[in-house]
Amino acid sequence: MKPSSPFTILASVATVLSFFSNIGVEAATGVDASSLITTEQWACAKETGYENAIIRGYIEAWGQNPGGAVDKNVVENYKNAIAGGYTSVDLYIFPCTGRDTCKPPADQVQDVINLIDENTMDIGTLWLDVEVDPEADNFPSAEGARTALQEFKKALDNSGEKWGVYASKVQWTSITGSVDWELDSSVPLWYPHYDDVMSFDDFESFGGWTTPTIKVKYYQNGLLIMIT
């Protein structure tokens, strides 16, 4: 199998991630899937060296009442990833916020926990995706955003699962109203900066985080490249 095969196979259905250890020991790679990927495709990526999988587990579904729903592909994606040879699998949550029709944060997190339990999933980290969706107007006020995020934190803390946050400094400041507002800087941070540099030297502290865990490095040819 040619090394370029995963790029050809996965570009239209997944994000290919490049990971780099935050202690500088070794590089690792992974695939971030937001659409359905077959077992063959997962296996191809694994054989080419993409060791980690991050799968979308929850979506806003803001047009529904109630809003917030388990991703329709998450169970099959997880099973296919495991069958394809993956042992390290994370899930990310794109929550429904900013609308009265959204499920309460505790219910959204419980949806994910039920998903994990009912399907006997072995999940490494749950990532809470904190970013603006202009179409949904998901964070209309800083006060509302802070309240919602604190409720998600409480639910995630009570879940028993390891969790982290995906956010950028700019969006964090815009959403919460302050670059310094802290949700929980003890959990891992995944942040984007498209500079094509394999280090965290560019990182600027926000939200109490001084050391990130994952970085989006660049976007090229339909692929989102990251380091950790």
Tell me the domains of the chain and their CATH numbers.
Answer: 5-227 (3.20.20.80)
Q: What percent of the chain has pLDDT over 70?
A: 80
pLDDT of residue 46: 86
C-beta neighbour count of 5 within 10 angstroms:
14
C-alpha separations of 173 from 40, 181, 207 in Å: 41, 8, 8
Rounded CA gap, 167 and 208, in Å? 12
Higher pLDDT, 108 or 212: 108
Max mean pLDDT range (33-37, 89-93, 193-197):
89-93
Percentage of residues in the chain with pLDDT exceeding 90? 63
Q: Is residue 147 classed as helix, strand or coil in its secondary structure? A: helix
Query: What pLDDT, on a 0 to 100 scale, did the predictor assign at position 191?
Result: 87
User: How does pLDDT run across 127-176, given as a tens digit for each residue?
Assistant: 999 999 999 999 999 999 999 999 999 999 999 999 999 999 999 999 99
Q: 41 or 70: which carries more pLDDT confidence?
A: 70
Active site residue 131: yes
Q: Exactly one of 111, 131, 161, 184 is catalytic; which is it?
A: 131
More confidently predicted of 63 and 192: 63
Catalytic residue status for 202: no
CB atoms within 10 A of CB 27: 14
Straight-line distance from the first to the last Cα atom of the chain, in angstroms, rounded to the nearest whole number: 26
pLDDT at 221 over 80: no
Annotated catalytic residue: which of 129, 133, 151, 184?
129
Rounded to two decimals, the pTM is 0.87
Average pLDDT, the chain: 85
Active site residue 133: no
In the structure, what pLDDT confidence band is assigned to residue 217 with cuts at 50, 70 and 90?
Answer: low
Q: Which DSSP helix (H) or strand (E) runs through 73?
A: none
pLDDT value of position 58: 98
